Structure 1
């Protein structure tokens, strides 16, 4: 059987598991805000899904996205998830003879899109306390040149959860200008961070921001995101769009409703998320799992497994058998993936309580597992 089919059946089995606790994909499973649910119901009852949406997104939603990011004069292009926005950008800029520069770890799929276009992917290692688990301007400058087409920064970093300062973003923007590269700022997790600084404030003409409604608003299965850029870049990327008939109408109505209640909603979500992180930190410390970054600026935590003498994949499998999904580090990075698992925290508190209660038993069982099924 092909790897593609094995991978699909792996996730199909997870999705078909009754009552599965999704603690591995950074998705938000806190009960939706009533305004969001009502907007979707109204849209469905009105039969809006019978027609296509505008190709770039509903104008009211596009305006709300730009306003939420605080970048007057920019344009938003609504996409089928943040991943679609990133694929569009890579199609526009990556080609043989160019480089795509990012960190290691990073989010893996834009690297795939860059390689599909023939670009060389350069991953700068940051899983190191010596650099405070973050990209430094000096390290970035050492890895860019006239071939660099894209500098890709996921911030807060997935999976580490570090957040870059305004001064660091300004430095990265200056480096991108010097080598005539596009700075792509993946802001998927910005709503879980304090002091986040979108790159469009530092480089309004040379940066593009990608964002998603999957994580903060809990719309992962509806597939809706956006890219935001200056008008000339917006036009360039619109020419590479494949979603020429627009993103889901129902998803766009949910996204617009979410933006209208965002301060209230995120206050609730972040309080639950923060409490979950403390629970996990305390439980992990009792069984020898280390947290290299705490608190995380994303809705997840990295738990290092070496101190407990277990493989990440073994712990993932033990929890899967209990109806809980967590994620092995190799999903994010081949170089450092044997060090950690990642656990999502924007979930009901009861899910985290169960995860923590099972942790001693799961660690003990993981030490005995040798034969493991494929994981993705």
Structure 2
């Protein structure tokens, strides 16, 4: 399927009245009034007519570092978390090097590394024997002296597993042993029961990337960040395509969000966990469906489908016909994607109720439909 076909697919989704977005891990819980007010104030002041500072507003940069909880680091504000990962890969990956990550993982850094000429090595973690997690032994057996960077999404997208401080300490020691940069993608950390950013363990050759798309619900505003020691931040900034700064309006929203984050995320996490419990009950009632990880430390759940008789792509299409967007597993993994669909849970309760009410009907319909292709990418 061409990029034009894919674009038309998503354009159609976006134009669908009342579409329930349950497939992109985006946050659709009504936003905090302070965040909306900050955007409106910025628009009213016509701040959008000027470029932002290239690294981001100083007050926002300081707030991002403070939120990470490690003093002395530097933040670079980016056009979404994906831009941060792109510049990191461009800075470190080149022909003759390799990037090590997991399978499943988030697919785009793999593409960025390959575009820079690096080999991508994915370690399979879709395995209950290892609790669906990367192990230090697996990592040590995969890296070598040509490993430019190790990329870990934590909590993992799509599995929702997270790593302990001890596990991360072992990973960092392995990275240091081969001179690799350790990239800790912490996009979903605010949904986790507990989380340790790698920069709190070591700031040498480590970088954290984050996003305001998920926890704060600013996906369409395109605002993210990377946090590292000053020399590393400057190295990555030299490869930034956003040399004229990220969106002024988005930065004002992000700064307002960080100011109310503690109370806001308490509410969001409660809604997220309640929605996960609702999905868990609905899945348990249908023979053949299974949640391999529950609860998830992200704002999503993986639902295994093969034993129910319906292909993930068929379920995606069945729900799309009902005005609900979910995602098939092949978006995340060519090897394991045939096993599952993924459901976003940081959404209004009635969205999840609608999904769950339709689930037995959609599974039956998917069995009859067989295998289909979708435009999701």
Partner residue in 1 for 2:352: 352
Q: Summarize the alignment of residues 232-311 of structure 1 with structure 2, pairs less than 5 Å apart.
A: 232-288=231-287, 289-311=289-311
What is the match of residue 187 of structure 1? Answer: 186
User: Which digits, 9 at most, give the CA deviation of each residue in 1:282-307, with x for residues without a partner?
Assistant: 00111131000001000000000012
Structure 2 CA distance for aligned equivalents of residues 370 and 127 of structure 1 = 24
RMSD (CA atoms): 0.7
Please report how far the alpha carbon of residue 370 of structure 1 lies from its aligned counterpart in structure 2 after TM superposition: 3.0
Per-residue deviation, 1:309: 1.2
Cα drift, residue 371 of structure 1: 5.8
Answer whether contact 1:313 1:375 (CA < 8 A) is retained.
Answer: no
Q: Distance in 2 between matches of 1:156 and 1:25?
A: 15
Please name the residue that 1:146 is paired with. 145
Unaligned runs of 5+ in 1: none
Distance (Å, rounded) in 1 between the aligned partners of 2:372 and 2:193 = 39
Alignment correspondent of 1:336: 336
> Aligned pair 1:367/2:363, yes or no?
no
In the TM superposition, what are the counterparts of 1:201-212 in structure 2 within 5 Å?
A: 201-212=200-211
Q: What are the within-5 Å matches in structure 2 for residues 118-129 of structure 1?
A: 118-129=117-128
Q: Secondary structure of the residue that 2:239 maps to in structure 1?
A: coil
Q: Does 1:222 align with 2:221?
A: yes
CA distances 1:278-335 after superposition (whole Å, capped 9, x unpaired): 0000001111310000010000000000121110001111000000000000000000
Report the equivalent of 1:49: 48
The question of whether the paired residues in 1 share the 8 Å contact of 2:209 and 2:227 is answered with yes
Indicate how the Cα distance of structure 1 residues 148 and 371 shifts in structure 2: closer, same or farther if over 3 A, else same: closer
For 1:266 and 1:22, locate their aligned partners in 2 and report how far apart those are by CA, in whole Å.
20
1:12 is aligned to 11
In the TM superposition, residue 373 of structure 1 has moved relative to its aligned partner by: 4.2
Q: Deviations over 1:179-219 (max 9, x none)?
A: 00000000000000022000101121210000000000000
Q: Normalization by structure 2: what TM-score?
A: 0.99
**Distance in 1 separating the partners of 2:195 and 2:172:** 15
Does residue 1:92 correspond to 2:91, yes or no?
yes
SS of the aligned residue for 2:99 comes to strand
Residue 367 of structure 1 aligns to a residue whose secondary structure is: helix
What are the Cα deviations for residues 127-153 of structure 1, in whole angstroms up to 9, with x where unaligned?
A: 011111000000000000100000000
Deviation digits for residues 337-365 of structure 1 (CA, Å, limit 9, x no counterpart): 00000000000000000000000100110
Give me the TM-score of the superposition, normalised by structure 1: 0.99
Output the CA distance in 1 between the equivalents of 2:348 and 2:39: 22
Alignment size in residue pairs: 375
The C-alpha deviation readout for 1:28-71, integer Å capped at 9, x for no partner, is 00000000000000000000000000000000000000000001
- Cα distance in 2 for residues equivalent to 1:291 and 1:153: 22
Retained in 1: the 8 A contact 2:313–2:374? no
CA drift at 1:374: 2.8
For 1:203 and 1:7, locate their aligned partners in 2 and report how far apart those are by CA, in whole Å. 41
| Contact 2:313/2:373, CA 8 A, preserved across alignment | no
Q: Tell me the secondary structure at the aligned position of residue 368 of structure 1.
A: helix
